[in-house]
Structure 1
Amino acid sequence: MSFADDHLVPLVDEGLGNSAYLVDLGDGRALAVDASRDLRALRAAADRRGLTVAYAADTHLHADFLSGAVQLAHDDGATVLASAAGHRAFEHTALADGDETDLGGLTLRALATPGHTDEHLSFLLTDGPRELGVFTGGSLIVGSAARTDLLGADRAEELARAQYRSLRRLAELPDATAVWPTHGAGSFCSAPPGAERTTTIAAQKQANALLAAPDEDTFVRELLGSLGSYPAYFDRLSEINRRGPAVLGSAPVLPALTSDQVRELLGQGAQILDVRPIADFAAGHIPGAISIPLRDQFATWLGWLLPENTPLVIVTAPGQDLAELTWQALKIGYERLAGHLAGGMAAWNAGGGTQESVELVAADRLADRPVLDVRQRAEHTAAHIPGAAHIELGDLTARSNDAPQGAVVACGHGERAMTAASLLQRAGHSDLAVLDGGPADWAKATSRPLQEGA
């Protein structure tokens, strides 16, 4: 049995496409690496093994989630391990390249691997002279390397060149060394699709196209050419992580609100956030509500589309998990959750509230209506409904005037399309519809080919 099989617990956040890690140190203590503020899965894993978290290591100042290291220090007395170059404003052990931390038998060695961020560290876990694995954060990831434009487009090339050197440094580790990245498939920090979230140095030498780049210029061109858009909230979280997220005193509770209280909050500038399934939203919703269905990707689209400083009133369907909703919001710094509408839309309607609707259109019923595709650029380019206009969902608020009137909005399955329709409806568009399904469903229903290219 390998060390990872017996001592390492990967904790995958499917929505953000990231992995945290819990390492059983063998004496009732544990090391947590790149833990998010939502510590539920980590706590459950530690409890199953009877572990207390003694160390919390962060590979870099995360942009896509708030770190749980400060909370672990407060709750468990964990020692926070992080780069000295990050200038964090809370108590931590500041590490430079080559610094080692004795974990009580195992050793954690800091390796400076800038590129994704200036202060990025990888952490090499060793047992005496043997390299067990390396926590690579946003440096070497499965099949790629993490994006280098989060500190601004003007620094993207400079940091890509640093990333080139960092990956080559990591590639010098023994082939058998396990690679444990933070960013994986689904991450907007630029991980390619695929099921594997961990790898080895040998596997990456064979399969990672960036490691195979013949020179630095080629590496930089390929990495920068692969970068798509990323959520707007990425631009603010790294600074909050540098200062240290606020410690949470207890499990958060989402208050229940009456229809009258919701109206009062709306009058004070609150935003309605409707997290119900798309069919429920289509049938009827509060005017001005934004649809972001509660699913794994909820936090990404919340952080991309709504301001964090506006009070949010939540509309849910019966049985939806309020704790899941709240934790997804908190892990990306959304703390102004005013509450949820008690009784949902039934209570709103019973209280005389008005509502709007959006038509759901079957894939074989588009006829000659204009189609607006709101998927990411790479998705649209790969295959789309012929003639579809394209505006990424993240750009739609700023470009709502560019959207065709009376459009059928499409994405991969319908969730992003309904979010887009709600944004357009709020901006004054009418006669909107949402494709129930995606381009593949249209192609199957009509026996017509999809179009490739921009």
Structure 2
Amino acid sequence: MPPSGWEDRMGFAEDHLVPLVDEGLGNSAYLVDLGDGRALAVDASRDLRDLHTAARRRGLTVAYAAETHLHADFLSGALQLGHDTGATVLAPAAGHRAFPHRGLDDGDEVDLGGLTLRAVATPGHTDEHLSFLLLDGTRVLGVFTGGSLIVDSAARTDLLGADRTEVLARAQYRSLRHLVTLPDDTAVWPTHGAGSFCSAPPGGERTTTIGAQKRNNPLLAAPDEDTFVRRLVDGLGSYPKYFARLNELNRRGPAVLTAAPSLPELDAGQVKALLDDGGYVVDVRPAADFAAGHIPGALSIALRDQFATWLGWLLPATAPIAFVAGADQDLDEIVWPAYKIGYERLAGHLAGGMPAWTSAEATTAFVTADQAPAAPYVDVRQRSEYDAGHVPGALNLELGDLADHAGDAPAGAVVACAHGERAMTAASVLERAGHTDLTVLRGTPDEYAAAHGLRLEPAV
């Protein structure tokens, strides 16, 4: 018998669906209580800690792990769930995954025991993309839309190359027009949300309804297919470099972990040898701590929600990495975000932190707007942020591409972002490339402009 709470869609979502939000990558996975001690997981990442905790609290065993598409922004946890709980992996047949799974095509149904999961072909974000209708008999409770229909937008269509972008955008148009034929009160449970580089707009809402999207989604308001395509494609910005390789890793299947990964302790000599041999040192302490003293050649990537994004954007996955952390920082929050995006060559961390470093330290000026010099201004924010308003005369060099354009940065520049964390990362990239005398702005462009008698300018 279905559990109570299935009488209406809202009651079902409140009682039987657990969204698991990854604030850093901007994605949501879902755990669905099937009512008999079993659960369905949808688009779970390789970091399954929160999902396993939620399942244990409800006394559930994950019996099914559904995948809407081959993810580019994180490694899937579906194969790991198969190992951990015996879950059956449900995934698009057209994805040709190289590990045991049940391949689904448009219209295929899976009996979950009281509920049914129906696959709906919704290509656009990727070729093989499926959405999943969750049905109670013939009644639709909701739809898992992955990277198809998302809150007030649709996911990007350029991940398979510039030559496929428009073709996939046109497929995305047809997919969304098909999804909005569902009843207006149908719950929409997307994977990609605010903060995702798979192209979700800012905002706090992670789920929505078909009716709300018909009213509010600017792409659905496009009068025709050509306008839809233009609006979608024109809104695409840059995305992390590691996206280019995760699709294939997810097709083959990430390595199954038989124990939780960890970071061994390294002494100062081992860290120095790693740097000398072409490895990387990543300092995860707050920007102010890095500025006050750091290992020469280290990259500053402060440990925060966006840590994995910048690790994967700025470093190769093929080189060993050592970390410098503060005494109060959780090493698991370094390891799991790294593993989630396929970074496993983690050599360890400097035992004792910076106090254990016995060689010379480097420093970086980190100043407030009123202390910042009137010097060339390098804005490392995303192009869309720069276009919304920037310091007059500012040179926009996006952080993600900065290593390839370090020679374009003027000497003695003020390096800035929206607050200071990305700017400190940028300064560390430039210092590795040989720049000296940089100043990092500890503040906002508005504060800098006000302190120097300027007004922000929009894009021309």
TM-score range, shorter chain: over 0.9
Report whether the alignment pairs 1:389 with 2:398: no
Show the counterpart of 1:411.
Answer: 417
2:364 equivalent among 358, 362, 370:
358
Alignment of 1:175-194 (within 5 A): 175-194=184-203
Give the Cα–Cα distance (whole angstroms) in 2 for the partners of residues 211 and 271 of structure 1: 45
Show the counterpart of 1:426.
Answer: 432
Deviations 1:384-420 (A, max 9, x none): 1222111100110100011111111000110100010
Show the counterpart of 2:79.
Answer: 70
Give the Cα–Cα distance (whole angstroms) in 2 for the partners of residues 40 and 451 of structure 1: 44
Report whether the alignment pairs 1:105 with 2:120: no
Secondary structure of the structure 1 residue equivalent to 2:370: helix
Q: What is the TM-score of this pair, normalised by structure 1?
A: 0.98
Give the Cα–Cα distance (whole angstroms) in 1 for the partners of residues 326 and 440 of structure 2: 20
Between stretches 262-271 and 398-407, larger displacement belongs to 262-271
Alignment RMSD, CA only?
1.0
In the TM superposition, what is the alpha-carbon distance from 1:365 to its structure 2 partner? 2.2
Residue 46 of structure 1 aligns with an amino acid whose one-letter code is A
Could you tell me which runs of 5 or more consecutive residues in structure 2 were left unpaired when the two chains were aligned: 1-9
Deviations 1:309-356 (A, max 9, x none): 1000101111111001100000000000000000111100xx3x1211
Secondary structure of the structure 1 residue equivalent to 2:341: coil
Give the Cα–Cα distance (whole angstroms) in 1 for the partners of residues 380 and 276 of structure 2: 31
Give the Cα–Cα distance (whole angstroms) in 2 for the partners of residues 193 and 224 of structure 1: 17
Show the counterpart of 1:53.
Answer: 62
Alignment of 1:12-161 (within 5 A): 12-161=21-170
Give the Cα–Cα distance (whole angstroms) in 1 for the partners of residues 453 and 122 of structure 2: 50
In the TM superposition, what is the alpha-carbon distance from 1:269 to its structure 2 partner? 2.2
Give the Cα–Cα distance (whole angstroms) in 1 for the partners of residues 360 and 167 of structure 2: 54
In the TM superposition, what is the alpha-carbon distance from 1:449 to its structure 2 partner? 2.5
Deviations 1:116-152 (A, max 9, x none): 0000000000001110000000000000000000000
Show the counterpart of 1:218.
Answer: 227
Could you tell me which runs of 5 or more consecutive residues in structure 1 were left unpaired when the two chains were aligned: none
Secondary structure of the structure 2 residue equivalent to 1:2: helix
In the TM superposition, what is the alpha-carbon distance from 1:98 to its structure 2 partner? 0.2
Quick one: structure 1 residues 92 and 290, their matched pair in 2 at CA, closer, same or farther if it must change by over 3 Å?
A: same
Give the Cα–Cα distance (whole angstroms) in 2 for the partners of residues 123 and 54 of structure 1: 16
In the TM superposition, what is the alpha-carbon distance from 1:368 to its structure 2 partner? 1.7
Residue 32 of structure 2 aligns with an amino acid whose one-letter code is V
Show the counterpart of 2:215.
Answer: 206
Residue 9 of structure 1 aligns with an amino acid whose one-letter code is V
Give the Cα–Cα distance (whole angstroms) in 1 for the partners of residues 425 and 142 of structure 2: 41
Deviations 1:130-178 (A, max 9, x none): 1000000000000000000000011000000000000001001111110
Give the Cα–Cα distance (whole angstroms) in 2 for the partners of residues 289 and 13 of structure 1: 27
Secondary structure of the structure 2 residue equivalent to 1:116: coil
In the TM superposition, what is the alpha-carbon distance from 1:367 to its structure 2 partner? 3.5
In the TM superposition, what is the alpha-carbon distance from 1:441 to its structure 2 partner? 2.8
Give the Cα–Cα distance (whole angstroms) in 1 for the partners of residues 213 and 276 of structure 2: 55
Secondary structure of the structure 2 residue equivalent to 1:212: coil
In the TM superposition, what is the alpha-carbon distance from 1:442 to its structure 2 partner? 2.4
Give the Cα–Cα distance (whole angstroms) in 1 for the partners of residues 72 and 450 of structure 2: 39
Show the counterpart of 2:459.
Answer: 453
Secondary structure of the structure 1 residue equivalent to 2:281: strand
Report whether the alignment pairs 1:338 with 2:347: yes
> Does the 8 Å CA contact 2:392/2:454 hold for their aligned counterparts?
no
In the TM superposition, what is the alpha-carbon distance from 1:260 to its structure 2 partner? 1.6
Report whether the alignment pairs 1:379 with 2:385: yes
Give the Cα–Cα distance (whole angstroms) in 1 for the partners of residues 449 and 416 of structure 2: 13
Report whether the alignment pairs 1:165 with 2:174: yes
Residue 456 of structure 2 aligns with an amino acid whose one-letter code is L
1:287 equivalent among 285, 293, 296:
296
Give the Cα–Cα distance (whole angstroms) in 1 for the partners of residues 217 and 102 of structure 2: 33
In the TM superposition, what is the alpha-carbon distance from 1:448 to its structure 2 partner? 4.2
Give the Cα–Cα distance (whole angstroms) in 1 for the partners of residues 24 and 307 of structure 2: 7
Between stretches 255-264 and 181-190, larger displacement belongs to 255-264
Residue 421 of structure 1 aligns with an amino acid whose one-letter code is A
Give the Cα–Cα distance (whole angstroms) in 1 for the partners of residues 209 and 147 of structure 2: 15
2:254 equivalent among 230, 241, 245:
245
Residue 352 of structure 2 aligns with an amino acid whose one-letter code is G
> Does the 8 Å CA contact 2:373/2:414 hold for their aligned counterparts?
no
Deviations 1:251-274 (A, max 9, x none): 111101111221222233221111
1:260 equivalent among 250, 261, 269:
269
